[in-house]
């Protein structure tokens, strides 16, 4: 796994094709034939076709996260629109693509900041004035999973900036440990008070410290939100939603509108990616040593892989699970927080207008 995080996957895919497009434009500017496409410079339509083939191939890499397919579809529309112009040529189509990919990068950061603002307002509206709140989050949904700022972690950042955040509890997120490795890094970097827990500790945390720490919400990201609100996210999310409902804690999904897939009716229609069992059986991590004072230090540049299961163990490794809409209190988008109506149905009409 080289890139993870639904928004980041989409942005990296778009920009990877843009990098090649930039190189080709530079070649064309030197009046040299476009060798990446063959012996001769292709026409505008041929260029558009080549770009769409590349995007289509990238879409096959991650079946669950919808952002990648959404970005590819929008970029295909851009290149074919550019190719339709009367003066269109290879260069103009490539430049149109590059501009659109760069705009996606900038838009993602702005959208995430709006998600943070809306999520913070929603949470604080439901708490006592001037009270400081704690939250739980799962996996990594910050700058390392998006173009910047983050979705669920963006809400947490916004809460912290408001001065109303007391503490963040973040899960280890087995088996790939995105929480302990990535979310922990971002929280420490930003100076946000936080404590790491294993995935299996969430119930005990809510039971023993939910009231004393004023844990008011569990905030997660999403890889795909179906039309009915069912949400596919990192495996373990469903369990947290069940715990939230039992303990009377709000459960929020934070995701940009690009994650909402109106073509997918429910979670039953979402294809769940299953990853290699070795990710469950083994862990890769840097070595630790004790310094002269007896304190643990990470030995930089020394990544090792160790087995954490009995030899010949078989493991099941779904990368995601689906949380039913009835367990979700709100879906935080860049436009607003979408809630269910009196019939328990998420209403998207006004959001997509």
Radius of gyration of the chain (CA): 22
Tokens of 59: 């879409």
Burial of 1 (0-12, 13-18, 19+ CB in 10 A): exposed
Q: Report strand pairing: 231-234 vs 260-261.
A: unpaired
Residue with tokens 């304190």: 295
Tokens of 257: 């509108």
Q: How far is CA 348 from CA 79, 112, 335, in A?
A: 29, 19, 11
Q: Is the omega angle on the peptide bond into residue 197 within 30 degrees of 0, that is, cis?
A: no
Residues 237/6, Cβ–Cβ less than 8 Å? no
Q: Which of 223, 261, 321, 329 is catalytic?
A: 223
Check if 223 is active-site.
yes
Residues 169/193, Cβ–Cβ less than 8 Å? no
Burial of 161 (0-12, 13-18, 19+ CB in 10 A): middle
Instruction: Provide the phi-psi class of 257: left if phi over 0, else alpha when psi is between -120 and 50, else beta.
Output: alpha
Residues 180/196, Cβ–Cβ less than 8 Å? yes
**How far apart (Å, rounded) are the C-alpha atoms in residues 337 and 62?**
27
**How far apart (Å, rounded) are the C-alpha atoms in residues 306 and 303?**
10
Residue by residue, DSSP assigns 213-225 as TTEEEEEE--SEE
Q: How far is CA 274 from the centre of its chain?
A: 17
Catalytic residues: 223
């Amino acid at each position: 796994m080289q890139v993870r995080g639904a928004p980041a996957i989409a942005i990296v895919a778009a920009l990877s094709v843009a990098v090649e497009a930039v190189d080709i434009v530079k070649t064309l500017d030197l009046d040299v034939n476009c060798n990446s496409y063959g012996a001769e410079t292709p026409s505008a339509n041929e260029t558009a076709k080549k770009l769409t083939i590349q995007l289509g191939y990238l879409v096959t890499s991650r079946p669950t996260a919808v952002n990648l397919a959404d970005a590819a579809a929008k970029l295909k529309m851009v290149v074919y629109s550019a190719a339709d112009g009367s003066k269109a040529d290879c260069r103009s189509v490539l430049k149109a693509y590059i501009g659109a990919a760069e705009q996606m990068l900038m838009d993602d950061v702005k959208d995430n900041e709006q998600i943070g603002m809306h999520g913070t307002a929603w949470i604080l509206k439901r708490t006592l004035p001037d009270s400081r709140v704690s939250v739980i989050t799962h996996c990594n949904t910050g700058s390392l999973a998006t173009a910047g700022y983050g979705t669920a972690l963006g809400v947490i950042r916004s809460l912290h900036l408001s001065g109303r955040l007391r503490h963040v509890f973040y899960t280890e997120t087995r088996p790939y440990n995105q929480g302990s490795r990535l979310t922990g890094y971002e929280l420490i970097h930003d100076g946000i008070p936080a404590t790491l827990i294993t995935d299996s500790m969430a119930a005990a945390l809510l039971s023993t410290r939910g009231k004393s720490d004023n844990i008011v919400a569990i905030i997660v990201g999403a890889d795909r939100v179906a039309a009915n609100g069912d949400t596919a996210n990192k495996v373990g999310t469903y369990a947290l939603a069940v715990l939230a409902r039992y303990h009377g804690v709000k459960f929020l999904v934070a995701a940009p509108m690009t994650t909402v897939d109106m073509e997918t009716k429910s979670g039953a229609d979402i294809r769940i990616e299953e990853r290699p069992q070795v990710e469950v059986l083994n862990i890769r991590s840097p070595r630790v040593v004790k310094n002269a004072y007896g304190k643990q230090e990470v030995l930089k540049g020394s990544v090792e892989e160790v087995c954490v299961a009995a030899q010949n163990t078989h493991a099941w490794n779904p990368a995601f699970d689906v949380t039913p809409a009835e367990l979700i209190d709100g879906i935080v988008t860049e436009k607003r927080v979408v809630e269910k109506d009196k019939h328990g149905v998420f209403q998207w009409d006004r959001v997509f207008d």
